[in-house]
Amino acid sequence: MDRIDYALMEALQADARASLAELGKTIGLSISATNERIKKLVTSGTLRGWTVRLDARKLGYPVLAFVSVSIDRPENEPQFLDAIRAIAEVQECHHVTGEWNYMLKLRARDPEDLEDLIARRIKTIQGVLRSHAMIALSTAKDREYIPCVQQTAAAAE
C-alpha cells in the first residue's frame, strides 16, 4: 500500500457513498484507477465492505451494555462463540486478557430485556462460569474510524 491507498481509505471513511469520480478527484486519480485501487483493497481484505450505521435508540434499543464473561474450560469456548454469534443483540465479542475471557457489547430494549438476555441467553450457554455487566449511561464517542493519515506519512518514508 502507498500514500494513495491510505488517502483513498481516508476518503472512503469520510464518505463511503462518494462516487468514483469524487473519490478520484480527492486522491488525484481517474475513475478507473480509483476503481482498481478499491478492488485491490477489497481483494486484500483491507477494505472489508460497506455498512450502514443505524441509531439504536431510534430503533428501540436504547440500552447499551458491556458484559464480561468467564468460561470454565477452553474446550467450551467453540460452543460459547457459536452461541454468541447467534444472538443478534450481541454486537461485538472480544477475547480479552485479565480475569475475564470475553467482553461483549450488547443492545437491549429496556432493563428487563437486558436481564433476560444475560440471565436466560448468555449465562445458560454451556461453559459460562460467571459474568459481570456494565450499563453505559451515555456515549461520548462512537465510530469505527481507523486513522490512515498517520500511515500516509509513514508509508511515504
Write down all domains in the chain, each with its CATH number in brackets: 3-52 (1.10.10.10), 63-135 (3.30.70.920)
Q: Which three cell numbers stand for residue 33?
A: 484507477
For the stretch 61-111, pLDDT in tens is 999 999 999 999 999 999 999 999 999 999 999 999 999 999 999 999 999
Per-residue burial over 104-138, b if 16 or more Cβ lie within 10 Å, else e, is: bebbbbeeebbeebbeebbeebebbeebebeeeee
Closest CA to 97 of 118, 70, 136: 70
- pTM value? 0.84
Whether the predicted pLDDT of 132 surpasses 70? yes
**Res 52: pLDDT:** 87
Reported as a pLDDT band with limits 50, 70 and 90, residue 46 is: very high
